[in-house]
């Protein structure tokens, strides 16, 4: 079959590669060791960072939409986040084809560089409400990036704006929560728990808030799956060695598995 309409002269037109900056993208995989399997390691992490960039793009927009009571708009963004999360979860399956012996061939080339230092992962955690003061210090080498992390660290996360949405809907939310210090990780509040219980008991009346709650549960569920697959992949490849960035490795990754971003949304299932 002939495709006579295909454009072949791009002397005065932008190409696909130019639009996507493929010259930069595809030349950014520089193996420091020259070892064959280092390419896998680099590509998986770069692809994951690109997906994280999209997650942040959608989360930031969703937070803004929720603040403006545009919940249906936020639902589309949060649904997209959930779909992206499936991609970065599956990425661990590809990385797990790297054996311990293969990784040790180039691990020293990383120096102190570590996924622990992924600032986009930290921004995602901040957007989900998990705040740790010492994390910001990692990025002091780059003042502009450090300021970006500091701003996100002190900004309300998506659950904070969801709680504000409950208050605007007329629920008697503890007023101290609405203007609290958002740099402190949220621990839970009885007024929020009561509000979500009312939402789940009256789904038709509070349909948008119910949908918001379920979208948040989807995201937390997927994020915890990502954390678990991260932990098991690291354990499979390096066991219980200390991470290249100085973290305790698997022990640290296991320690965050029990943290809940949106505690009342999990508690309500028991109370219903």
pLDDT tens sequence across 168-227: 999 999 999 999 999 999 999 999 999 999 999 999 999 999 999 999 999 999 999 999
**What's the CA gap between 249 and 234, in Å, rounded?**
8
For the cut 90, the answer to whether the pLDDT of residue 67 exceeds it is yes
pLDDT of residue 11: 87
Q: CATH 1.20.58.480 in the chain, residues?
A: 36-271
3-state helix, strand and coil shares in percent for the chain, rounded to the nearest 5:
65, 0, 35
**Inter-residue contact 126 to 157 (CB < 8 Å):** yes
Query: Do residues 94 and 44 lie in contact, with contact meaning Cβ atoms separated by under 8 Å?
Result: yes
pTM assigned to the model: 0.94
- Residues forming the annotated binding site for heme? 230
Return the residue matching tokens 């839970």.
188
DSSP string, 97-145: TS-HHHHHTTGGGGTT--GGG-HHHHHHHHHHT---HHHHGGGTTSHHH
Q: Span 36-271: which CATH code?
A: 1.20.58.480
Alpha-carbon gap, residue 215 to 125, rounded angstroms: 16
Q: How far is CA 27 from CA 23, 30, 46, 119, 126, in A?
A: 6, 7, 12, 22, 31
Q: Which residue numbers belong to the known binding site?
A: 41-45, 103, 107, 230, 244
Length of the chain: 272
Note the pLDDT of residue 2.
65
- Percentage above 70 pLDDT, the chain: 99
Summarize the annotated binding site for substrate as residue ranges: 41-45, 103, 107, 244
Q: What angle do CA 235, 241, 246 make, to 5 degrees?
A: 115
* Across 137-160, average pLDDT: 94
Contact, 258 vs 269, CB < 8 A? no
* CA angle centred on 45, ends 186 and 230, rounded to 5°: 50
pLDDT beyond 90 at 130: yes
How far apart are alpha carbons 158 and 59 in whole angstroms? 8
Report the percentage of the chain scoring pLDDT > 90: 82
- Report how far residue 173's alpha carbon sits from residue 250's, in angstroms, rounded to the nearest whole number: 38
């Amino acid at each position: 079959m002939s495709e006579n309409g295909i454009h072949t002269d791009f002397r005065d037109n932008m190409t696909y590669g130019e639009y996507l900056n493929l010259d930069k993208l595809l030349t950014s995989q520089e193996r420091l060791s020259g070892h064959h399997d280092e390419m896998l390691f680099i590509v998986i992490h770069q692809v994951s960072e690109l997906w994280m960039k999209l997650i942040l793009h959608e989360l930031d927009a969703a937070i803004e939409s929720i603040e403006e009571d545009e919940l249906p708009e936020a639902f589309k963004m949060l649904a997209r986040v959930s779909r992206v999360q499936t991609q970065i979860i599956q990425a661990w399956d590809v990385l797990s084809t790297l054996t311990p012996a293969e990784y040790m061939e180039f691990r020293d080339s990383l120096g102190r560089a570590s996924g622990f230092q992924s600032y986009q992962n930290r921004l995602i955690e901040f957007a989900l409400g998990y705040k740790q003061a010492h994390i910001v210090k990692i990025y002091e080498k780059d003042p502009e990036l450090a300021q970006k992390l500091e701003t996100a660290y002190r900004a309300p996360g998506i659950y904070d704006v969801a709680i504000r949405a409950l208050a605007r809907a007329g629920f008697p939310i503890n007023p101290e929560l609405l203007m609290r210090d958002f740099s402190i990780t949220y621990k839970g509040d009885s007024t929020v728990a009561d509000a979500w219980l009312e939402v789940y008991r009256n789904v038709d009346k509070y349909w948008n808030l119910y949908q918001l709650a379920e979208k948040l549960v989807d995201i937390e569920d997927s994020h915890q799956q990502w954390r678990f697959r991260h932990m098991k992949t690291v354990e499979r490849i390096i066991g219980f060695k200390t991470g290249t960035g100085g973290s305790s490795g698997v022990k640290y990754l296991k320690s965050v598995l029990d943290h809940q971003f949106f505690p009342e949304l999990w508690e309500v299932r028991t109370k219903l």
